Amino acid sequence: MTRVGVVTFPGSLDDRDALRAVRLAGGEGVALWHDDPDLQGVEAVILPGGFSYGDYLRCGAIARFAPVMESIVKAAGDGMPVLGICNGFQILCEAHLLPGGLTRNHHLHFRNRDQWLRVESVTTAWTGRFDAGQNILIPLKSGEGSYVADEKTLDLLESSGRIVARYVPGKGLAEGDHNPNGSLRDIAGITNEAGNVVGLMPHPEHAVEALTGPSVDGLGFFTSVLSALSGKVSA
């Protein structure tokens, strides 16, 4: 069974949810601790949502220096799939595994709602089970979720197919209110050049069961990485 690690930082909120999502997808979830550099032989890593180290300084700024991150940065460089969700996305940017950064929502309010996304790239380790252009519905909950980067970086992400998902209009959203945080170019998630590291602001781990989620669309991120690691990726 494929082992997928989920890191717990002080202030993590969604680590158990991510572990459950891995199990529902058919993998073995392995709890990793922020202060321990040992990745315990996992084949992929998830940095979950929450408020690591209380979000002091900047979101993810302290977590970037956790002992476990030294191992994750090296493993990511060697091709290990890494997914950062919400606060995890912020940590990936602080660790320079992904370009740009996440800033305060443009309206300066915490936004919590079910959010429509369009999957733009299905060539990453975390999106291979989706169809290009597929619309999915998963929860979003963040106060600092606005993705920003300079124009050169944004153009590069566009031209190289590294925008993983965008915010799009959908049922239940007011007209013109599809972008929940002011992210440039409606970006909800991006990937690195190799496609193994993905940052996503909404929370797929909260859309894996019909009983509790607005859909089961989020499960595709977890089944995708299991398929990628078994060499059976299909769109």
The residues carrying an active-site annotation are: 86, 203, 205
Contact 205, 24 (CB under 8 A): no
C-alpha span between 210 and 224 (Å, rounded) = 19
CB 62 within 8 A of CB 22: no
Tell me the one-letter amino acid at 128: G
Query: Which DSSP category does 131 fall into?
Result: P
Cβ neighbors of 167 (< 8 A, separation 6 or more) are 115, 116, 117, 178, 179, 180, 183, 186, 187, 188
Encoded amino acid at 72, one letter = I
Angle, vertex CA 165, rays to CA 87 and CA 80, nearest 5:
60
Q: Give residue 178's Cα distance to chain centre.
A: 19
CA distances, 125 to each of 45, 76, 133, 135, 145 (Å): 12, 12, 17, 18, 23
Tally of CB atoms within 10 A around 147:
27
